[in-house]
């Protein structure tokens, strides 16, 4: 497939807002592509070169792209920068300048999709002395050989500005249509995606080998599994009822989610967002090598900073200081970590995700032999009092709360199910938990905030069924001056001229942004409102937050979560119902 044809499909995607229309366009695109092109098409559409755990980044700033466009078209960098400021979109600026240039195309040969992808990968992997100039030249060569429409998407790709609004769920449904003729195979595809975290690989497998390859998908070492997630309920009685009267109750640690992969002496540690964070935790790598009696293993755990002198767990605000690229050795001495293992997914060639929880835990416990990697604290409870007492004990020890787990449940990758249920401290008059919301727009500042040109956020939940972001609140409180500067800088780079296709909103902010960042919000309660679309049926009202405010004094953006991992519309609906039940109980009714 020529890159020009892919660009024309992207033009179609940008012109529609219906998710069903997007699925139709993507499925038609996949049908026309060759099997050896689909993987790269998925990566390009996602705006990446590889899945996040491979850690490959373009390394191109806006000024470098402007210089590439200038070299390719014969215009000056100042001309390019002027057009960019005018359009507010580097791709559109490149397209217009290509239409104006009097230079002939560098070559009559058109680039294929795979050639563009491989060039971009080469740009990303170029490093060392003179690498900046080499990157600029390589991109300029592609732009020079491109038509105006191709140039638009060629330059948007390395800037991570391909904003077609196509989410993972839309890609999976389109692949299902191509592979089986309808969208029903999406669940099988999603399962494969959940255990390899590589959407391009899933696309390639169904294109080359068909349905059976997906049905027989296997766990692979050093390809992280999308983590299992917990639902929530407000009372121990409801938790036990959901767990059929008996469950394991684990302590919930407020640290870094760590998925550990070990094969012999080779160790990798992946974050909640499936990024390779191995280099940040050499102390944990050493502990894995020494303290786990298994040749090959994948386990799930939480790392938390520990004060050896007082035997106390440190709060997340301190633990987060361990997540760094520099000064690691000093921080290891100042702030050692404990890794609390709580689940086993793979052991010596066997998939343990399909085994019952109690077997996974018992097996994992026998494999640990040391004082850095420990089993998470737990009890078996069959009465509300046992569960409540353990909850209070965990809170007193400085932990977040507890997670109840069904004794016979499997490890369900990438999903939020009632086989795991979390319980955090509930405060009278407030929600029992925070919400992780997606930023979809922002407002200009007024009054004392005028100087920051930032006055607040428009935030949304994720509706997994619709693959849409539904607004739930305007956030105007809780920001420090540093956070306002951080947010303004980050959001300016992703603002768009119109409402993104995957955003469902009645409220119109001063600026729309591509859904890319998550923030953590606290509110007093969830109410009903005609102004927001979260949980809103046609002609109905949606959910909204009362007195919402940003949580935390450090970074505003929650970078360990993707937008698809944000609080869902379904969760907000459940929290609203739970909130009403708690009020009734508190009133003595």
* Euclidean distance between CA atoms 271 and 274, whole angstroms: 5
Q: Are 554 and 482 in contact (CB under 8 A)?
A: no
Kind and range of the H or E run holding 119: helix 113-125
Please, which residues have CB within 8 angstroms of residue 336's CB and are 6 or more apart in sequence?
A: 283, 305, 306, 308, 372
Rounded to 5 degrees, φ, ψ at 372 are -105, -40
Name 375's bridge partners.
341
Q: Are 377 and 250 in contact (CB under 8 A)?
A: yes
**Could you give the count of Cα atoms lying within 13 Å of 464 in the half-sphere of its Cβ?**
13
Q: Is 424 in the active site?
A: no
> Closest Cα to residue 431, out of 507, 544, 536?
544
Q: Are 284 and 330 in contact (CB under 8 A)?
A: no
> Closest Cα to residue 38, out of 26, 50, 46, 30?
30
* Euclidean distance between CA atoms 502 and 244, whole angstroms: 38
* Token duo for residue 24: 């139709």
* Euclidean distance between CA atoms 147 and 105, whole angstroms: 8
Catalytic residue among 156, 186, 252, 338: 252
* Euclidean distance between CA atoms 101 and 122, whole angstroms: 27
Spell out the alpha helix ranges (H) of 75-158: 77-87, 90-100, 113-125, 131-144, 148-156
Q: Are 303 and 255 in contact (CB under 8 A)?
A: yes
> Closest Cα to residue 518, out of 459, 470, 452, 571?
459
Q: Which residues are catalytic?
A: 252
């Amino acid at each position: 497939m020529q890159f020009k044809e892919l660009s024309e499909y992207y033009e179609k995607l940008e012109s529609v807002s219906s998710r069903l229309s997007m699925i139709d366009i993507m499925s038609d695109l996949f049908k026309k592509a060759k099997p050896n092109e689909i993987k790269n098409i998925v990566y390009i559409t996602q705006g990446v070169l590889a899945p996040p755990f491979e850690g490959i980044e373009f390394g191109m700033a806006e000024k470098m792209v402007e210089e590439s466009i200038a070299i390719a078209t014969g215009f000056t960098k100042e001309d390019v920068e002027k057009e960019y400021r005018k359009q507010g979109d580097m791709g559109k600026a490149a397209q217009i300048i290509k239409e104006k240039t009097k230079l002939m195309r560098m070559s009559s040969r058109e680039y294929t999709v795979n050639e563009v992808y491989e060039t971009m990968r080469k740009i990303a992997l170029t490093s060392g002395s003179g690498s900046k100039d080499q990157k600029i030249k390589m991109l300029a060569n592609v732009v020079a050989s491109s038509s105006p429409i191709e140039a638009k998407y060629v330059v948007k790709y390395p800037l991570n500005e391909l904003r077609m609004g196509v989410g993972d769920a839309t890609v999976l449904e389109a692949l299902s249509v191509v592979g089986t003729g309808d969208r029903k195979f999406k669940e099988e595809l999603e399962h494969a995606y959940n255990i390899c975290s590589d959407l391009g690989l899933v696309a390639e497998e169904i294109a080359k080998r068909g349905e059976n390859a997906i049905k027989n998908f296997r766990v692979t070492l050093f390809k992280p599994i999308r983590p299992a997630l917990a639902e929530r309920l407000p009372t121990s009685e409801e938790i036990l009822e959901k767990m059929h009267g008996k469950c394991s109750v684990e302590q919930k640690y407020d640290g870094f989610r760590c998925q550990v992969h070990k094969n012999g002496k080779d160790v990798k540690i992946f974050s909640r967002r499936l990024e390779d964070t191995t280099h940040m935790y050499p102390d944990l790598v050493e502990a894995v090598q020494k303290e786990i009696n298994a040749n090959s293993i994948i386990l799930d755990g939480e790392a938390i900073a520990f004060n050896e002198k007082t035997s106390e767990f440190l709060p997340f605000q301190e633990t987060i200081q361990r997540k760094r690229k520099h000064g690691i050795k000093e921080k290891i001495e100042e702030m050692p970590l404990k890794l609390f293992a709580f689940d086993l997914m793979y052991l010596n060639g066997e998939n343990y995700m399909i085994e019952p929880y109690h077997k996974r835990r018992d097996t994992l416990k026998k494999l640990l032999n040391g004082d850095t990697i420990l089993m998470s604290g737990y009890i078996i409870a069959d009465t509300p009092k046992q569960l409540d007492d353990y909850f209070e004990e965990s809170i007193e020890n400085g932990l977040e709360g507890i997670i109840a787990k069904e004794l016979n449940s499997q490890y369900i990758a990438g999903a939020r199910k009632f086989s795991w249920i979390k319980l955090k401290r509930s405060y009278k008059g407030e929600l029992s938990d925070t919400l992780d919301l997606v930023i979809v727009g922002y407002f200009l500042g007024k009054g004392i905030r005028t100087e920051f040109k930032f006055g607040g956020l428009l935030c949304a939940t994720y509706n997994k069924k619709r693959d849409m972001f539904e607004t739930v609140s305007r956030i105007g409180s809780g920001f420090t001056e540093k956070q306002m500067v951080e947010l303004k800088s980050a959001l300016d780079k992703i603002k768009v001229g119109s409402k993104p296709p995957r955003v469902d909103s009645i409220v119109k902010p001063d600026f729309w942004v591509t859904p890319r960042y998550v923030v953590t919000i606290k509110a007093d309660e969830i109410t009903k409102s005609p102004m927001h679309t979260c949980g809103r049926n046609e002609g109905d009202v949606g959910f909204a937050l009362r007195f919402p405010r940003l949580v935390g004094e450090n970074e505003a953006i929650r970078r360990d979560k993707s937008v698809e991992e944000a609080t869902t519309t379904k969760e907000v609906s459940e929290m609203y119902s739970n909130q009403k039940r708690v009020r009734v109980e508190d009133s003595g009714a």
